[in-house]
Copies of this chain bind each other. A is one copy, B any other.
Amino acid sequence: MDEAAPARSRPYHHGDLRRAVLAAAAEAIEESGPAALSLRELARRAGVSHAAPAHHFGDKAGLLTALAEEGFDLLAGTLAQARERTGSLLETGLAYVRFATTHPAHFEVMFHPDLYHPDDPAVVAARARATAELQSAIGTLPDPPTGRRARVTGLAAWSIAHGFATLWQSGAIPPDAGTDPTELGRAVLRRLIDRD
């Protein structure tokens, strides 16, 4: 993680401190959870003075709001891509699981609205995009349901994918059940979707 030009001293302007702090936050949360997070620690990780992060995010909740927004955006993109590429609800559900395992900090924060400003317009919009994406994946089923039935089906798919991802992330699933979350997740989700 050394600088490309080690002789040159740190420039006064970071260049992209906002992104750097967000990345540092995700890293720190992966290591010790959101409870231990402090703006001063993120400043240290980003190599800037301790007051710099507040310049961009105001306070911790502001920072986590930005992280949640980024997470919902990434998730919406991931789900859209999976649906377009495979046209399969099962595979879209697995993309959800994979998102949770590859972005554990974002995932953790996104679903703990007491950590951030859940009514922030940007995060509301990003969340709506992800939810719509998930719901529209129901349309890929062979005989797609409509109305209330469609909503319950969507909620069931969301629940099983979310539950499996959460349990996996928390280490609650005994390791002898499997070592690859996608593989085990496929077996689990198949109990609900594309049964044979």
Contacts and interface: CB of A to CB of B under 8 A. Distances in A.
A113 to B, nearest CB: 6
Interface of A: 32-35, 111-115, 118, 131, 151-153, 155-156, 158-167, 170-174, 177, 184, 187-189, 191-192
A174 B33 CA distance: 27
A39 to B, nearest CB: 14
12 contacts: A111-B167, A111-B172, A113-B171, A118-B171, A131-B174, A152-B191, A153-B191, A155-B184, A156-B160, A158-B163, A159-B161, A161-B163
A162 B167 contact: yes
A177 B167 CA distance: 24
